[in-house]
Amino acid sequence: MKRLEVIFFMFAVLVLWSCKPSVPSQYIQPGEMEDILYDYHLAEAMLQDNNAGAVDGYKQQLYQAAVFRKYGVTKAEFDSSLVYYTRHADRLHDIYERLAKRFNDDAVALGASASDLNKFGAMTAQGDTADIWTGDKSFFLLPKAPYSVQSFYLTADSTYHRGDRIMLNFDAQFIYQDGLREGVAVLAVRFANDSVASRTQQITSATHYSLVLDDEAHLGIREIRGYFMLSNLQGSAVPSTTLRLMSIYHVQLIRMHDNGKKTPSPTDSIAPKDAMPKPDSNGVVPSTLPEAVPADEQLIKSLKQAPQKARLMPPQKR
């Protein structure tokens, strides 16, 4: 009797395993899709380097066509497959996790220091310098609610000290059929006296970004908030069927204690220090959000009232 039960159990497991959903054959399979996206982003990075950060639409099409030719796929096949993967977020998330590792390995092979690339990667939430990021290290956004925003929120504890520095690091990649790249990242800190300081970074190209905030007045940090957003300011000017995707990866939120020696702030991707307004008579630092993104202030206010935990798009049922 027991033998029959074991056989039945093994048969049931085999049936369930064989029924595991796979990518339909009409779409590019995960392994090949990863290779195509790898070369796709690599070609885009080369194009930006050759054009001093600018994107030449004609050359971009030539580079993309060369990638598709290499793998024997058409642009239509790539686009339809990518639409499938964006509707199955878990599969696309896994692909970008592997892509992030490949880009990291390539940087080391080309001479970059592994210690520089993973400067804070092995650190915990303890110590003078620590990575306190608790969300996904990589994710992607679409310019359509609710998949256009990835927010984060942390409450300070006993490991935070007066005078701490907070640094948000990340890398960005884009896949755009048409339209302007309108990504934005916001980092905001509320201090012990309820004053708020913030940094806003427009994300328009595939590169590395850093946002830094200091507790210069040694007030003590009460909480940290922020979000990544892919805007849709063009609205109906771009057809809803146009594929637009922004990938964020290598996310780090670094907390540094003030031990008398400050780490130099990155100057290539954050607002200059003197752009921060000085506190008023009540010690309140006004928000520094740019006028070009008026919706961001409202979003920060809504996040203060009901913070959302960072999450990935749930896969749609077939």
Q: Where are the domains of the chain?
A: 23-115, 119-260+283-305
For residue 66, name the pLDDT band (cuts at 50, 70, 90). very high
Query: What's the pLDDT tens digit per position in 266-310?
Result: 544 444 443 444 445 544 444 444 444 444 444 444 444 444 444
On average, the pLDDT of the chain sits at 75
Q: What percent of the chain has pLDDT over 70?
A: 63
User: pLDDT: is 234 or 201 the higher one?
Assistant: 201
Least confident of 29-43, 200-214, 235-249: 235-249
CATH level 2 (architecture), domain 119-260+283-305 = Sandwich (2.60)
Query: What's the pLDDT tens digit per position in 247-272?
Result: 998 899 999 988 765 555 554 444 44
Q: What percent of the chain has pLDDT over 90?
A: 35
Query: What's the pLDDT tens digit per position in 21-41?
Result: 688 989 999 999 999 999 998
In this prediction, residue 294 carries a pLDDT of 42
Is residue 120 scored above 60 in pLDDT? no
For residue 161, name the pLDDT band (cuts at 50, 70, 90). very high
Distances (CA, A) of 317 to 89, 114, 177: 12, 41, 26
46-50, 80-84, 99-103, 153-157: range with highest mean pLDDT:
153-157
